[in-house]
């Protein structure tokens, strides 16, 4: 299996006909067919079935497509990285971050990178923490920022900050006060949480407390936007951070109360894959992102405590 085989496979997969793939790559139909035949022989599976108007990927072909795309993208990234010099950062970097992180540093990150290195292609993906881990593992993202992430066999996770969780809802439900609320007391309120599983784990590192929260939740959603709409409509209260619901808190439509007995907090960390080394571009983006996050805490835009 070589790059020519992979390139021909991708062309056939995307064009759905061997003749169109041959025209796209400026090769003969017989050459394309020969490369495909060799690839299928190497892999020991059929990648396409022939139909009247072209070809259709088999289940193995669909599975192999993601691998082929990842391999070729990685090779191109490696080539660009090796050609990059100290002051010339080029290539592509994809970063997946939780919504609250993007709200604080997303624009600053894009502005800094585009201003310093115009040839660096940056992709910023907004996602829940559970999705961030999947993006990094699959190769969709080179870096991730997630909360309470723990998968040491798959990722290198560097803690950056901790932030306290608060109870958020309409003043009519919480009372027009910022007074502390005990954990046991909030369990008696109409609680709305993110969907169970990895998404909910971003609420707290304490699995026992998380289980109690999930058991008492009357509604569960898997969207920050939907959650915000539910709170503004007075459907319930939730456990979150001031950063996530900053707009509603700023204009008074929402109220926040600190949670005590016990206090709930979460750790935000930088997530990197263990099976892929960083390129020059990824190292630059990593340093820039961490610098901006730390600066946002120091200047008060992010109410959190830095680690280290």
Mean pLDDT by 10 residues, the chain (308 residues): 89 91 90 90 91 89 89 77 64 90 93 90 87 89 90 89 93 85 93 65 76 88 86 93 88 93 91 87 94 95 91
Between CA 189 and CA 191, with CA 190 as vertex, the angle to 5 degrees is 95
Q: Which residues of 186-210 are buried (b: 16+ CB within 10 A; e: fewer)?
A: beebbbbbbeeebbbbbbbbeeebb
For residue 89, the model assigns a pLDDT of: 77
For residue 80, the model assigns a pLDDT of: 66
For residue 87, the model assigns a pLDDT of: 56
DSSP 8-state assignment for residue 202: G
For residue 201, the model assigns a pLDDT of: 60
Sign of CA dihedral 134, 143, 245, 262: positive
Query: CATH topology for 166-263?
Result: D-Maltodextrin-Binding Protein; domain 2 (3.40.190)
Topology agreement, domain 88-162+267-306 and domain 166-263: yes
> Rounded CA gap, 109 and 113, in Å?
6
- The answer to whether 189 touches 236, Cβ cutoff 8 Å, is yes
For residue 94, the model assigns a pLDDT of: 95
CATH classification (class only), 3-82: mainly alpha
Count of Cβ atoms closer than 10 Å to residue 250 Cβ: 10
- The answer to whether 132 touches 145, Cβ cutoff 8 Å, is yes
For residue 197, the model assigns a pLDDT of: 46
Query: CATH topology for 88-162+267-306?
Result: D-Maltodextrin-Binding Protein; domain 2 (3.40.190)
DSSP SS3 for 191: strand
Sorted by where each begins, the domain ranges of the chain are 3-82, 88-162+267-306, 166-263
């Amino acid at each position: 299996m070589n790059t020519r085989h992979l390139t021909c496979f991708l062309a056939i997969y995307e064009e759905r006909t061997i003749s169109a793939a041959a025209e796209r790559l400026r090769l003969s139909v017989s050459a394309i067919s020969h490369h495909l035949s060799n690839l299928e022989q190497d892999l020991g599976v059929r990648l396409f079935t022939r139909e009247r108007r072209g070809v259709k990927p088999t289940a193995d072909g669909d599975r192999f497509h993601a691998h082929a795309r990842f391999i070729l993208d990685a090779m191109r990234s490696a080539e660009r990285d090796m050609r990059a010099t100290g002051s010339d950062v080029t290539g592509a970097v994809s970063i997946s971050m939780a919504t609250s992180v993007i709200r604080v540093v997303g624009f600053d990150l894009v502005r800094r990178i585009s201003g310093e290195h115009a040839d660096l292609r940056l992709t910023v993906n907004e996602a829940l923490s559970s999705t961030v881990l999947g993006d990094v593992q699959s190769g969709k993202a080179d870096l991730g920022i997630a909360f309470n992430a723990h998968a040491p066999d798959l990722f290198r996770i560097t803690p950056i900050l901790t932030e306290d969780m608060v109870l958020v809802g309409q003043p009519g439900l919480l009372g027009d006060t910022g007074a502390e609320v005990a954990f046991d007391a909030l369990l008696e309120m109409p609680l709305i949480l993110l969907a169970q599983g990895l998404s909910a784990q971003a609420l707290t590192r304490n699995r026992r407390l998380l289980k109690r929260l999930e058991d008492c939740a009357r509604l569960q959603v898997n969207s920050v936007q939907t959650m915000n709409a539910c709170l503004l409509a007075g459907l319930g209260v939730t456990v979150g951070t001031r950063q996530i619901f900053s707009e509603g808190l700023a204009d008074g439509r929402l109220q926040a109360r600190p949670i005590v007995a016990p206090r709930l907090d979460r750790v935000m960390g930088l997530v990197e894959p263990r099976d892929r080394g960083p390129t020059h571009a990824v190292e630059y983006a990593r340093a820039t992102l961490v610098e901006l996050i730390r600066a946002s805490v120091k200047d008060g835009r992010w109410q959190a405590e830095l680690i280290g």
